[in-house]
Amino acid sequence: MAKYDVAIIGSGPGGYVAAIRAGELGLKTIVVEKDGFLGGTCLHVGCIPTKVLLHHAEIYENFKNAAEFGFDVTGLKVNWANTLARKDKIVKKHSKGIEFLFKKNKVEWLQGWGRYAGPGRVTVEKDGKKTDLEAANVLLVSGSEARSLPGVEPDGKIILTNREILQLPEIPKSLIVVGAGAVGVEFASIFQSFGTQVTILEMLPRVVPIEDEEISAELDKTFRKKGIQIFTESKVEAVKQDSKGVTVSFRHKDGNVQTLQAEKLLLAVGRKPMTANCGLENSKARVERDFVHVGPYMETDEKGLYAIGDIVAGLPQLAHAAMMEGITAVTHIAGKPVPPIVKTRIPNATYCEPQIGSVGLTEKQARDAGRQVKVGKFPFVGNSKATILGSHGGFIKVVSDEKYGEVLGVHIIGPLATETIAEAVTVLQLEGTVDDMMAMIHAHPTVWEAMGDAFASVRGLQINV
Ligand SMILES: Cc1cc2nc3c(=O)[nH]c(=O)nc-3n(C[C@H](O)[C@H](O)[C@H](O)COP(=O)(O)OP(=O)(O)OC[C@H]3O[C@@H](n4cnc5c(N)ncnc54)[C@H](O)[C@@H]3O)c2cc1C
């Protein structure tokens, strides 16, 4: 029987990054993947393909605004087939890239369904054939799949999940997006840009409900201005398919029931951890509503069994969280020092237009935690590079501790927010203060320099507004 230091079930961002780092640390490593390709949800039907489409949508928006930049553009048309082909090419390239990195770091991989089979053992099943592996440590990184609504079955043609919507042969004329989290608002943004009439239905009182309330309000305002219809506090009651597409009945908070009709419907109501049939019943791991509980180094209650990524209880379902969790686990296994994951230092990045980047506590969370809070806010309208880009909506909001100026959270909506948030993540990681950041020199003219103004605004010393 083949013997390994680490066996990893799942090759998504949690699994493949853990495998590469394990290889770098000299651990004999194998990855078990049910699909015939590497990369998981993120690379094939998540982060990467959606960001390709969002980038294409941004280019298209720029063409539509060509006159503002001094160009006369006529006959502008979307070639959807080429757009999808470029997306698929990028996905394939990066999937091959993971294979290359596995080879480079002596990581083996085996196709099949992996299952934890008790301490130090993993079984792999493919086409009725069973392979047994021995591994001192096992990482379960089996990821997640789209949740549905009670009584609603995605058929892949009219009622879609993130998988099928990435392969639509044509841009739909109308689309109802159920759920206004990151996945929902990203698809809403993509298809609105490409000319689809988009309606968002959200059960909670606001869009992007995990973000700071002011960020939600700004996105809501901007989306409505673009023509996206939004219904919050609205619960879907029935979904019926017919020859024209789909009819959705939903109930408002006030009790009124309304119906909407569209060509397609996207379910973006959260992700269910894929922990069934992975052998967790052969372990002491604590599983709650399919999520697995872990300790500071991602180890479950079963010694030598780790859980990483979208299946972990209490941590966000994000690719970069999964990556760092994987690194933390294998570094711990290699006996090297590694800090545990701190939830409040995991950034959120939502790539709709306008983009959102955030890290740390929202204003409400900070106040609810009993902190004395001082808030600063700087609008991009005062930033010259944002004006050059023709994108000066939105703002940066800094939440800090009133007494010591410690930065508790930063919330950005506007141009390049998913990049600019990097500075805020660094401040939180290094436990910096507003005053440290006010003394930092930001290059001019950049969108990033708006951070300097945002930190200074906490002290009422912003320059550009
Ligand atoms: C539309 C969409 C857009 C997203 N965009 C972003 C984004 O921009 N940024 C971001 O940070 N996050 C994004 N996410 C979330 C991100 O995709 C996930 O957080 C991330 O993929 C989780 O990584 P993972 O390794 O835990 O699981 P996954 O990526 O889901 O990978 C799990 C892997 O395990 C395999 N597997 C499952 N069970 C078994 C088994 N028993 N045996 C063998 N193999 C198995 C699966 O085939 C899969 O390859 C997005 C998600 C969606 C749906």
User: Across all residues in the chain, what is the average pLDDT?
Assistant: 97
> For residue 313, what are its two tokens?
């209880």
Residue nearest to atom 48 of ligand 1 (CA): 40
Phi, psi of 18 (to 5 degrees): -60, -40
Helix or strand or coil: residue 140? Answer: strand
Is this model's pTM higher than 0.95 or not? Answer: yes
Cα 40 to middle of ligand 1, angstroms? 5
Strands (DSSP E) found in 157-218: 159-160, 174-178, 197-201
Say yes or no to pLDDT of 196 above 80: yes
Residue 230 has pLDDT above 90, yes or no: yes
- Select from 16, 17, 41 the residue to mutate for testing ligand 1; criterion: most ligand atoms less than 8 Å from CB: 41
* Burial status of residue 367 (CB atoms within 10 A of its CB: 0-12, 13-18, 19 or more): middle
Neighbouring C-beta atoms of residue 14, cutoff 10 Å: 34
Rounded Cα–Cα distance for residues 397 and 407 (Å): 11
For atom 2 of ligand 1, which residue has the closest CA? 46
Q: Determine the distance separating the centroid of ligand 1 and the alpha carbon of 21, expressed in angstroms.
A: 18
Nearest to 113 by CA among 19, 32, 13, 12: 32
Atom of ligand 1 nearest to the CA of 278: 41
Q: Is the pLDDT of residue 349 over 80?
A: yes
- Paired residues of 137 in beta bridges: 6
CA-to-CA dists, residue 68 to 161, 192, 223, 280, 415, angstroms: 36, 20, 21, 58, 17
Q: 115 C-alpha to center of ligand 1: Å?
A: 18
For the CA of 308, the nearest atom of ligand 1: 26
* Interval 25-64: pLDDT, tens: 999 999 999 999 999 999 999 999 999 999 999 999 999 9
Q: Which residues, in sequence order, are bridge partners of residue 253?
A: none
Distance CA 220, CA 70 (A): 30
Q: Which residue has the tokens 């080879």?
A: 103
- The span from the CA of 254 to the CA of 156, in Å, is 33
What is the Cα–Cα distance from 154 to 230, expressed in whole angstroms? 22
- CA distance linking residue 320 with residue 325, whole number of Å: 9
Atom number of ligand 1 nearest to Cα 51: 8
Residue in the block written with tokens 């019926």: 240
Query: Closest residue (by CA) to atom 51 of ligand 1?
Result: 46
The pLDDT-based confidence of 417 (bands split at 50, 70, 90) is: very high
The string of pLDDT tens digits covering residues 243-276 is 899 999 999 999 999 999 999 999 999 999 999 9
- DSSP type of residue 302: S
What is the model's pLDDT at position 336?
Answer: 98
444 belongs to the catalytic site? yes
Q: Residue 103: what residue type?
A: K
Distance 456 CA to ligand 1 centre (A): 39
What value does the mean pLDDT take over residues 297-311? 98
Cβ < 6 A, ligand 1 pocket? 9-15, 32-35, 40-42, 46-47, 50-51, 113-114, 141-144, 162, 183, 274, 278, 309-310, 317-320, 322, 351
Question: Of ligand 1's atoms, which has the minimum distance to the CA of residue 317?
Answer: 19
Question: Distance, CA 315 to ligand 1 centroid (Å)?
Answer: 14
